[in-house]
Structures are given as structure tokens and as C-alpha cells.
Amino acid sequence: MRLDQKINDKVRSSPRAQAALVVDAVCHHQQLLDDALNELFSLNPDEKLKPIIHELVYGAVRWCIQLQWLTTQLLDKPVRKKDRIVQALLLVGLYELRFMGTASHASVNETVAAATILNKPWSKNLVNACLRQYTRSEQDFNISISTDIGLLQSHPQWLIDSIKKAWPEKWPTILDANNKRPPMGLRVNNKQTDRVSYIKQLTEAKIKNSAMPFSEHGILLPKPTPVTKLPGFAAGLVTVQDGAAQLATILLDLQADQSILDACCAPGGKLAHILEAMPDDADVTGLDISRDRLDRVKENLRRLQLNCRLIQANASKINNQNEQAGQTDTWFEKSFDRILLDAPCSATGVIRRHPDIKLHRQSQDVAKVVVLQAQLLNSLWPLLACGGKLVYVTCSILPVENDEQIDKFLKAHADASVLTPDEMLSGESFRNSTLTTQAVKILRAAVIQKPHGFQVLPGSLDMDGFYYACLKKNT
């Protein structure tokens, strides 16, 4: 669905109409939330409206399952497919009434007005009746919602069941964390500045911040800030990156003379962190299957004034690369001392940051991605030098993608061993960092150690949900 065909001056004046267009794109046309919202903002540069549009969109998507149930109670019959923008507008209006504290008369009036702006004037009475009925019956609806965990936490049942099975004692906390607004993580580009200096710039710009205790270049902003307002962002002083993602480079245990491969490098955050930690002439290769995604990596590296070799190739089929038509590059015939495999996954650890995952992900998707992860591990393993390390990372909290995946790999590869979680979080992995002993203790206490790696759960130390394992090739 192209938003540019639906934006006019009247729509640009109504944040609720704009929010409904994005919610419709996400909920009814399977568009990614970030992509749809960025497209909208590119068409409407009014900075004053962006915060409320952002809040309405993310909130309506985050609570979409609950809000959709409410519409089934309020509507006599489902809206027609061609009128689903009205359904999206109701979701926006209900979110504002339930969660934003806007005066009900103002919220209802503005949402009803948006129906006309969206060329659905016939629906004004319908929208008005539904929202007013909701305000009259809110307590009754709340009682019904409280008896159904799927509605209460606005998660699909298959995902609730999977999280319950994986984390029988922690699943309520995980569901709750998934619905919280996440803080904003930053990583200072140490080739351009240092954390102390950049914190000073943030403070002078009146942006609240604190140093991450477990990442020597990490900063936490309790309230997300547009990158255009971050000091020196365009000049490459800083990158937006969650604290859990920043652990990857530390766990790689990098040294100046190593050859390094980031096997699924887009959009480039972890690759940039590697380059920031290495000398300018370091042997670093970034690999990704998508040309478009590699273009985004190039843009990010250019902003950060970093450079490395970038290759478009399918990391799950390395052994077949030389059989491709026109393939003359022999990069895959060399070995690497370090390989980072930031594997495709269900992304169940970053739902708080990408709430549309709850709508777009299906149970069968997990089984498919598990197969791909195994293919990637098996394909990349021959490229790892003897004595080298492969760091496997996902932003999933499901064991089948994480420790169970590594367990299967170890059983199939006699030349592979794994660093224990204690070893990963001890002196060897962290010797090149400036983290204090106390900071490492804080991190070790926050993660959950598994037989082959460790898990960070969503919200722990304000981090996203990540899994890490470190495989070593035996000599």
C-alpha cells in the first residue's frame, strides 16, 4: 500500500488520520511498522505532529489484539474489506481513549473528524457511536479483558504458549516487558569522540542520559530522541544501538591482527562496532544476501566514516558460491579468525521495540527460521580458522533458536567446542574493554546462563532480549 497516494493537505493536518493510515498498512497490509511510519514522515515533515503520530501508531499496534477485540464488541458487523481504514481509525481512537488520558470528548470529536478527512464520511456516525459506547461501557470491557491473558497482554496465543514453555517462571514478566516503551540505546563512535565528551554534549542539549554500566561506549536515554536532535549524529559521533546488541563486539574478543567476518551484517550496527574497535587497516568483511540492505550498510558506514569490504552473497550456501553464474570472487576460500553470525530469528526478544512482530509472526515461521539458522552455522563453519571463534547471536528468547540450536550443532561437529557462559563473561572475552569488575558482575547477575550460552530477557538492565553463544574451532 502506497501512502503517497493517500496523503493530501487535509490528511497532513490530522495526526489521527495519518496514524490510521499507518495502522492500516501494518495491520491489514502486512507492512513493517518502522517502514510505514518512516514513509509517512517522509511525506509530512511537520515535526510538531510527529510525537503524537508516533505515540498513536506504536500504541495502537502494541495493543492491537486487545483493541481489535473491542471493535468486535462495539460493531454490529465487521467492516468491509474496502473500508478497513475505518477499522484502523477505530483502533487509533480506542488506544487514545484507553491509554493516553486525552479528554474523551476531544478524542472522540477529533477521531470522528478524521473519518471525513480519510474520505469515509459515511462512517462518522459509526465511529462516534462506537467510541461513545466504549466510554460508557469501559469498566465492563475491562472485566472481560482481565479474564483472558491474550487480551490482557495483547499477545497471540501461540506466542504466549511458546514463552510459557520456554520460561515457566518468568513468562508474565516477559509479556509485561514486551508492552513497555523501551529506552533508547546509543553507542559512541570511539574513533570520533569518547563517552565522557559525548555525555557532556547530550547534557548541554538537555537530553537526559546515563552511561551504560556494561558497555564502555554505551549510553542510555530514558526518553527516545529523534536522531536529528542528537548532537553530531550526522557527523558520525554516535549510533543508535541497544545495550544487548553492543555485547557482540566484546564477546568476539577482537585483536588487531585478526581477519573478521560479519556474516549477516545488515543494517550494519554490529559491523560498525567491530570497525570502531579495530585499526583502520583491519581485515574486516561484511556479508549480506540483500543488495538493498547492503546499500543501507554503506550509508551507515559512510556516516560513521568507516570502511570495509562488503560482499553480497548467501551465507547459508557458501560452498555453492563458486558455482554461481559469473562468480569470480574467491573471498569464501579464505579463513577467518572471528565470525559474527547475527542469525535471522523470530525476533521475539525485541517485541517491545517492534510491536508489529506480534501481528506478523506466525508459529510456523519459527520452524522455518530454525532450519535457516542451522544452514548458516553449517555453511560458515568451514570458513573459521582453527582456534578461531564464531559468536552466534539472536534477538530471540525461544530455546529452539538458541541453546537447542547450538546443542545440535555441537553434536554434529566434533571439531567444535563452546565457551561456557562463565568463560564468555570473564577476563578473556572482556580483556580488551575498560569495563570495571563491578560492571561485569552486574552483567553476569543480569543474564541467564544456559548450558551453551547465555540469555538476556527483555527489560533486563534496560536491554532487549538477546542470546549469545561462542563456538571455538578445535585445533
Catalytic residues: 395
- Length, in residues, of the chain: 475
Pairing of strands 283-288, 259-262: parallel
* CA distances (Å), origin 361, targets 143, 149, 472: 28, 19, 32
Contacts 24+ apart (CB under 8 A), 169-174: 170/457, 173/457, 173/459, 174/397, 174/457, 174/458, 174/465
* Residue 232 CB neighbours (<10 A): 15
CB neighbour list of residue 224: distance below 8 Å, 6 or more residues apart: 181, 182, 183, 184
DSSP 54: H
**How far is Cα 231 from Cα 254, in angstroms, rounded to an integer?**
29
Q: Scanning the structure block, which residue is given the C-alpha cell 498498512?
A: 25
Check if the beta carbon of residue 469 is closer than 8 Å to that of residue 453.
Answer: yes
The C-alpha cell at 475 is: 585445533
